[in-house]
Amino acid sequence: MKDAPLNTIAITIFLLTLSALIGPVVGISPFVPAGVVFGVMALATLDNFALEGQGSAIFTDWLSGASASKQDRILHHEAGHFLVAHLLNIPIEGYALSSWEAFRQGQKAQGGVRFNDQQVLNQLQQGGLSSQLLDQYCKVWMAGIAAEKLIYEKAEGGFEDRQKIRSVWTRLKRPLEEAETKERWAILQARALIEDHRSNYDALVVAMAQRTPVTECCKLLDGGQTHG
């Protein structure tokens, strides 16, 4: 839901500028902030290659001290992914609602719902992708944005989700303009699914907030009401 390495660079530049302004006032040597910035950039470079940016994601999460409203938005975004994937019978392997949770689970990711997308990869490696499977995954990828639009009227996250569709379109050698049309279609389709299963979605949000295991979340969705 965010580009952590860019956030780290932005924070580093901010700290360097701030230290340059207040350093002379409080008597801090200019070598101190320069050394700190060099160290941060070195760690960021190491993190980018060794941890695929996860360290930066954890750092920026901690530094920003995600507010309750931001955490709530992330929760609703990921619940959208989870619900639509379950409805479309796409296997869900796990979820994490922060970079730190993903790290603790041994995942090289910035958090989110993890799907089994091996079928998509297999078809792409063979040079194609069935329209049915493409439609299903586009709905799942756009479900987080759809959920945010439903609850908050606009979406703040979803950059990486959109990139997944663009990546598939690039591999299929199709015009990116078609990908944008597909995104809008998938958002509408995903939103309709969430609205039709609103009571299940609301229950899932509560369950995921309590970090309920995937299997229990799926049982909840299978046994709950199907319409709000």
pLDDT in tens, 176-214: 899 999 999 999 999 999 999 999 999 999 999 999 999
Model pLDDT, residue 106: 73
Across the chain, mean pLDDT equals 81
Nearest to 95 by CA among 189, 203, 216: 216
Q: Is the pLDDT of residue 2 over 50?
A: no
Task: Calculate what percentage of the chain has a pLDDT beyond 90.
Answer: 50
CB 114 within 8 A of CB 108: no
Encoding tokens for residue 154? Answer: 């606009």
Q: Who contacts 201 (Cβ-Cβ below 8 Å, separation ≥6)?
A: 79, 80, 83, 147, 194, 228
Residues forming CATH 1.20.58.760 domain(s) in the chain: 68-223
**111-170 pLDDT per residue, tens:** 899 998 888 889 988 888 999 999 999 999 999 999 999 999 999 989 999 999 999 999
Q: What is the pLDDT of residue 200?
A: 97
- The CATH fold assigned to 68-223 is Methane Monooxygenase Hydroxylase; Chain G, domain 1 (1.20.58)
pTM more than 0.75? no
| Tokens 């409080």 belong to residue | 26
Q: Between 16 and 147, whose confidence is greater?
A: 147
The token pair that represents 141 in the structure block = 């990828």
